[in-house]
Amino acid sequence: MPKEDLIFERRFKNWSLAHPRYWTVATDTTGITGFISTQIDRVVKAQIETADNIIVSQERIISEIDRAALGIDRVADGLESLAATFEWGFSELVWQLEEQREILRDILRVLQAPLDTQAKELKKRAEYAYRNGWFDDALEDFLESEKKNRYDFTIHQNLGNIYFFEKKNPEKALEYYERAAKYATPESPYHASIAFLHIGLIRYLQGNFQKACEATLKALELSPDLYEAFYQHAQYCANLEKYSEAVEHLKIAIAGDRYYCVKADSEKDFDVMKEQLISLFKELREEACDWAKKEIKRAKELIKDAESYGVPNKSIVVGKNKLNEADTLFKRDSYFDYLDAYYNAMEAQNLVVESSVKFLSDQISEKEKEYNNNLQKCREKVESDIDKIANVGMFLFIFFPIFPILFAILTYFITYNIVSSIGVGVVAWFVGWIIFFFGLSKSVENFLYEKYIREYKESYENELTILKNNLSKAQPLCPTCKGPLSYIQQYKRWYCYECQKYA
C-alpha cells in the first residue's frame, strides 16, 4: 500500500473517532433538520462544558443558555448558516439539505432542462437510494446518471461523498469533488466552495496540509462569507506552523460566529499554537469588555436623560431590565458574557430611545394641539369683543342715536346755542360711525388678538423648544453626518443610512 494511503488510513481512523458519522434515514427535510439539530445541541454542549473560562463563565455553562440559542432554522439553511455548529460527522446530511434549497433547485432546473425523462428519473432513483442508506445502489445509479448529465455538479458531489465516507477511497473522492467544484463554479460559487472544503479535508487526512490550505483559499475566493472555510483554513495553517495566518483567519471566523472560539478551543490541531490561541481569546475578551463597558455607560445616560424628560418609568422598565442583565453578565468576566452584556446594553438603548422618542413626540403633538385649540379660543374671543364694539357704535350712535341727541341737549343747556348743540350731536353721530368701523377693522382685531395670546404664545414656544431639543437629544445621531441613526435589530447595532455604515 502506498505511503500516502497508509497515512490517509491512519489519520482517517483517528479523525472518525473525533468526528463520528451521524446518519438517519429520512426522506423529508423536517426529519433531517430535527436529527441534526439534536446532534448540534449534544456536540455544542460537550464543547461548552470543556471551554476555557476566558471564553465561557461557569455560570453560563450551568445556565445552558448556549444550547438554547441554536435552533432548527439555522440547520435548514445549510452549511452557510450552520457556521461554527457545522460538524463533519453530519456533512452528508447537510448536503442533502443543500439539495432541497430553492436556490439550488432553480440552478438544477436549467441544467436538467435538455434531459429526457429517463435521465431525470435515474438521478431521482440514485438520490432516493442514498437517502435510504443503500449506498451501493446509489453509487451505481449516480455513475449511470453522470454519463447522461456530466455538468450536474450535484451528481459529482454525491459520488465524492459516497467514495469518501462509504468506500474510504480518497483518490476517487478527490476526482469527483474536483469535478463538482469545476462544474459548480460558474453556476453556484457557494456550492463549488463546499466541494473545495471536502477537497481540503481529504488533503488534510492525507497529510498534505499545503494542498489543504490551497483548497480552503479557493473556497474563500468563491465565498468570502463562508466562515467555516476561514476556520478550516486556520486549522490547516496550524499544521503548517503558520500561526499568524491561522490567528488571522480564525479571528474572521469568530467575528462571523463566536462559537468558533469554543470549536477551536476543543480542536486538537490548535494545541500546537495554544499560546497564540489563548492570547487571541484574551484579546477578544478585552475588546468585548471595552464594547460592553462603553455601551452600558451610554445606556445608563439614556435612561437618566429619559427620566429627566419625564418619560414614565413603566415605559422604560424593559430597557432598565435589559441594562440590569447587561450589568450581571459584565461581572462574569468571560468573552461570551461580555458580548451578551454588550448586546443587552444595545437593546436597552434601543428600548429607551424608542420610549423617549414616542413620549416626547406625543408631548409635542399634544402641546401643538392644545396651542391650536387655545389660538382658536382667542380668535373667537377677539371676534366676540370686536362685534360688541361694532354693535355699540351701531346701536347707540347710528341706528338708535341716543348719545348724539343727549350730547346735543346737554350742550344746548350749557351754551344755549342751537348751532353748537347741533354740531356736537353731529360730531357724536360721526364718532359712532368711527367706533363702528373701528370694530370692523382687521388691524384692530389682529392687535387685540396678539395682545391676548402674547404671554401664552411665549410660554408655549419656550415649552415647545425644550421638548424639541429633548427629542433631538433622545434620537441618536451619526457622529459623521449628524443624521439620525436607525437600530438594526438583527445585528444589535446603530446604522446610518446616509453614510451607509454602522456607528
Cβ neighbourhood burial of 2 (10 Å; 0-12, 13-18, 19+): exposed
Is residue 299 within 8 A of residue 352, CB to CB? The reply is: yes
Q: pTM for the complete prediction?
A: 0.81
Res. 100 pLDDT band, cuts 50 70 90: confident
Q: Has residue 328 got a pLDDT over 90? A: yes
**Residue 316 maps to a domain:** no
pLDDT of 404? 55
Tell me, rounded to whole angstroms, the distance of Cα 8 from its chain centroid. 44
Is residue 189 within 8 A of residue 219, CB to CB? The reply is: no
Q: Has residue 432 got a pLDDT over 70? A: no
Q: Has residue 448 got a pLDDT over 70? A: no
* 351 vs 417: which has the higher pLDDT: 351
d(C-alpha 296, C-alpha 49), whole Å = 28
Q: Among residues of the chain, what percentage have pLDDT more than 90?
A: 50
Q: For the chain, first and last CA: distance in Å?
A: 60
Number of domains in the chain: 1
**Residue 488 maps to a domain:** no
Contacts of 362 (CB under 8 A, 6+ apart): none
**Residue 49 maps to a domain:** yes
**Residue 105 maps to a domain:** yes
Lowest mean pLDDT among 185-189, 233-237, 341-345, 453-457: 453-457
pLDDT of 439? 46
In 3D space, the residue among 21, 19, 37 whose CA is nearest the CA of residue 29 turns out to be 37
Lateral strand order in the sheet of 493-496: 486-488, 493-496, 501-502
Domain that holds residue 62: 3-266
* 206 vs 119: which has the higher pLDDT: 206
Res. 475 pLDDT band, cuts 50 70 90: confident
**Residue 38 maps to a domain:** yes
pLDDT tens string 367-391: 888 878 877 777 676 666 655 655 5
pLDDT of 411? 64
* Mean pLDDT along residues 83-94: 90
Return the CATH number at 170. Answer: 1.25.40.10
Average pLDDT, whole number, for the chain?
85
**Residue 327 maps to a domain:** no
d(C-alpha 156, C-alpha 53), whole Å = 44
Q: Has residue 208 got a pLDDT over 50? A: yes
Contacts of 183 (CB under 8 A, 6+ apart): 150, 151, 152, 153, 156
**Residue 140 maps to a domain:** yes
| Lookup result for grid cell 486549522 | 235
d(C-alpha 36, C-alpha 33), whole Å = 5
**Residue 283 maps to a domain:** no
Res. 406 pLDDT band, cuts 50 70 90: low
